[in-house]
Each structure stands twice: as structure tokens, then as C-alpha cells.
Amino acid sequence: MKLLVCGGAGFIGSTFVRERVRVHGDELTVLDKLTYAGRRENLQEVESDIKFVHGAIEDPEAVAGAVGDAEAIVNFAAETHVDRSISGPEEFIMTNMQGTHVLLEAARERGLGYLQVSTDEVYGSIEEGSFTEESPLQPSSPYSATKTGADLLVSSYFHTYGLETVICRGSNNYGPHQYPEKLIPLMVLNALAGDHLPVYGDGKNVRNWLFVEDFARGIGHALLHGAPGEVYNCGGPDECDNLTVVRRIVELCGRDESLIEFVTDRPGHDRRYSLSSAKLGALGWRAQVRFDEGLARTVEWYRDNAWWWDPIRSGAYRDYYERHYGRALKA
Ligand code: NAD
Ligand code: DAU
């Protein structure tokens, strides 16, 4: 297939690009603004097989210049960190909502397919059971509110203009190339450095962990086999509370639990996420990587790839970390 992949230099987008190029031989153009989270390094293994365009999805000219003869647009581009959305929601509104609108217009003008990469956070928090695609949308943070707004806009383009849209909502991803502001890579790098491990609140918040390669395959599956206008949940095979995740990381890194430090909770912190993936399962998708295996692979990748994270930990990220956690990184 010929695809325009927006946000393809980020964590999940670049995993999807590697998978589509290597396994399926797709012809891809990546459009990416290269924010702090977007890195050309993430695409270096397939650099010569893809076309890369540096630009923003909210810029109609950049989108028109990148779209070429693509058959469909796959949109990963987003501001994605909940904590950043709490301290500054503006960019989230611009990229996640305005940017999605520009891409939908580009798809409508050209009659292209459109896949929106979305999140379980649009459903809010659930104490028991799992969200299905029919569950009400009750986002809690500025991040999830802008993702929900984008999803509703995508659905409106199907209902109003007949655009062939699919929405794929993933649960918490983890794996190689994830920016170390998210729980798992942050804890791995801090543990490797012997630094403190900041757990929000009581550490009992539960997430439904999905290995990033499984999500990349799920998105490809929804793109090829999903029905226009439909939403597909793509959840991981295992749930785990944050404290248990951090304890496993401590063990895998050969450290001591005394590094764990309970810190002030995130405002509006969702207690639990859980997705039912039965609908995507009926199309033939299954998660292949269990959490224990995926976490061990992830720790190993960060241990072996300091070239990837060292420039981040020694750059502007240090200021973000200090502002957010009120203390400096050790290494
Ligand atoms: P990420 O933060 O690692 O990467 C985001 C990418 O989008 C970066 O390459 C960045 O440069 C690019 N980008 C940001 N703003 C842009 C703009 N205005 N124009 C063009 N490019 C822009 O994010 P991720 O974790 O890979 O998430 C990708 C998508 O998957 C997002 O839509 C996110 O909401 C969704 N998602 C993430 C998770 C998760 O656990 N990380 C789970 C479910 C869904
Ligand atoms: O559920 C899917 C979502 O998962 C995606 O849509 C988001 O883009 C992605 O960022 C992620 O959101 P979360 O808020 O769940 O992920 P995060 O890694 O920020 O936090 C995971 C849990 O760990 C959450 O309960 C907060 C907690 N946490 C996080 C950090 C960064 C800590 O206890 N300490 C920390 O330092």
C-alpha cells in the first residue's frame, strides 16, 4: 500500500513504519514535525526505504506537499504526555484537534482512506470490567479530551461526507524507542542510573500493557480489515498496577526497592484502564507478547542502546524533569 504516515518519527509511529516496510513492503511517506518526541533516529533502519517530510499536520501546505499519491492517511501525530497536557494544554488542542481536522480535509478532497490512532483514555477510568467500543466517552485530562474531540471529528467525516475512516484505540504501550517521560522508560533509565523512582500517589493505578509491536500490527490489521466508520479497541494481554511494574523493573535492573519514592499524585489521575479487544480479535488480531516477556525485552533494549537515550537525558529533558519532579537527575 501507499500510505502517508503522520507522526511516524515517534515511538509507535516508527514501530509501525518499520513493520509496514519490512514485513509488507509498503511505500511510505512520513510527515512529522519532529517535536521533542519525534526523532529521525527512530527511522534510521528504514531511512532509505521511505520518504521523510518535515512538517506539521496542522499546516495544510505541508500536508498537501506530503500526501503525493497515497491511498490512505494513518495519523499517529499527537502531543501524547498527560502530565504535559496538565501544565500546558495549548499544543494539544493545536496538534490533536486542529491537526486532525487538516488531515481529514486532505483525505476528503482526495477521496483517501483515513485511520486515526487513538487511545483507551477517551473512555476515562473503569473500576471493574473492560471498555468496549460502545462504552461512553468520558475523558479526564486535556490530553484525552483532545483525543476524544479528534475521534468525534473523524466519526463526523464518515457520517457527513462518507469518508472511509477507521479509529483504532490502543491501551498503554511500552517497548523500545519510547521517550523517557512515560512510566516504563523513565523507571528503567532511572533504575539503571541508580536514581530515585517517582511513583505517583499510592502506586495502585492499573494500566493495560500492550507491547508496541502488537499495537503496530493491530493498527495495520484495522487498516486492512476494518469496516469504514468503525472503531476498534486494541488492548494488551495483561493488566498491572504501577507499583508492581516498578518493582519488576527494579528486579530486572538488579537494583534495590529503596530507590522507590512515593510522590504527589497527578491531578485527575485515572485509576484503571482496561480494554476489550474482542471486536479486533474477531478480525483475526491477537496480542503476541505477554507483559513479563515484553518488559524484559524493553529493559534489555534500553540497557544496550545508550546511544539512543543519552542525548535525551543530557539535553533540555533535564530541565523538564527538574521542573516536574522538583529534583535533578543523577546521571
Ligand atoms: P510520541 O509522543 O512518541 O510521538 C508523537 C509523534 O508525533 C512524534 O514523532 C512527534 O514529532 C509527532 N508530532 C507531534 N506533533 C505533531 C504535529 N503537529 N505535526 C506532525 N507531527 C507531530 O507518541 P506515541 O506514544 O508514539 O503515540 C502515537 C499515537 O498513539 C498518538 O496519537 C497517541 O495518542 C496514540 N496512543 C499512544 C499510546 C501510548 O501508550 N503511547 C497508547 C494508545 C494510543
Ligand atoms: O492508555 C494509553 C495512554 O497511555 C496513551 O494514550 C498516552 O499517550 C500515554 O502517555 C499513556 O498515558 P498514561 O498517563 O497512562 O502513561 P504514563 O506513562 O504517563 O503513566 C502511566 C502510569 O504511571 C500512570 O498511572 C501515572 C504513573 N506514573 C507516571 C510517571 C511518568 C508514575 O507513577 N510516575 C511517573 O513518573
pLDDT in tens, 230-282: 999 999 999 999 999 999 999 999 999 999 999 999 999 999 999 999 999 99
Residue 309, C-alpha cell as written in the block? 537515550
In this structure, the residues whose C-beta lies within 6 A of any atom of ligand 1 are: 6-7, 9-13, 32-35, 37-38, 56-58, 76-80, 95, 99, 117, 119, 147, 170, 172-173, 179
Listed as ranges, residues in the chain with pLDDT below 70 are 331
Residue whose Cα lies nearest atom 29 of ligand 1: it is 76
CB 120 within 8 A of CB 170: yes
Q: What is the pLDDT of residue 331?
A: 63
Mind telling me the catalytic residues? Answer: 120-121, 143
Q: What is the pLDDT of residue 330?
A: 84
Q: What is the pLDDT of residue 68?
A: 97
Residue whose Cα lies nearest atom 10 of ligand 2: it is 81
- The DSSP code for 33 is -
Which residues, including other chains, have CB under 8 Å from residue 148's CB and lie 6 or more apart? 122, 137, 139
How long is the chain? 331
